[in-house]
Amino acid sequence: MREDMRDILLDRAEIARRVKELGRQITEDYRGETPLLVCILKGSVVFFADLIRAIDLPVQLEFMTASSYGSATVSSGEVKIKSDLDEKIFGRHVILVEDIIDSGRTIAYIRADMLKKGVKSLRVCSLLDKPDRRVSEVAADYVGFTIPDEFVVGYGLDFDQMYRNFPDIGVLKPEKYEKTAD
């Protein structure tokens, strides 16, 4: 897979260090509580698995599926959600775990929906933040890395469902997605 990347933006060691720091920060902030961590599938799965093990607290886990990209490199703008969390989040300290905030549409949509459903508190933890492309006004409470406007894959992030298992975060060579778009 490395040959499909133009550059490595974040390697596995840098990611691991930062994920440990985020885990420590969440551990301090939620001392005495049992937060409910919600993994927003599929992109967050790798980050989520590492983050939960960096948190030294009792936590509970839930999963929901959100998708807005289809097989394009640019968000379609329409957020599709599959979830049955309504009762499980009521009265809970919820942390939404995302791999990336790009336009912000996905997290803005989920946040607004959860706030209506009576969570006790709601924070967002995103490994990556791409502020240049923001359309919806949202900010994460915990951010791993702020990145430039490049199409990145790996560590859970995909192009057309591929590269999620690449252990680093790389910038895909343009010909890799331009070819598929023809």
Binding stretches for ligand PRP (CB under 6 A): 40-43, 66-69, 75, 98-106, 158
Q: How far is the CB of 147 from ligand PRP (least distance, A)?
A: 12
Nearest to 157 by CA among 147, 148, 167, 149: 167
Q: How far is the CB of 33 from ligand PRP (least distance, A)?
A: 25
Closest to ligand PRP by CB, 5 or 126: 126
Does 86 qualify as catalytic in the annotation? no
Distance of CA 50 to the CA centre of its chain: 12
Q: From edge to edge, which strands make up the β-sheet containing 36-41? A: 80-82, 60-67, 36-41, 93-101, 121-129, 142-146
Closest to ligand PRP by CB, 26 or 75: 75
Closest to ligand PRP by CB, 25 or 67: 67
CA distance 129 to 88: 27
From 11, 84, 102, 129, the catalytic residue: 102
Please give the sequence-ordered ranges of beta strands (E in DSSP) within 130-176, or none if there are none: 142-146, 152-153, 169-172
Q: Which two tokens stand for residue 102?
A: 């790009």
Q: How far is the CB of 48 from ligand PRP (least distance, A)?
A: 11
Catalytically annotated residues: 102
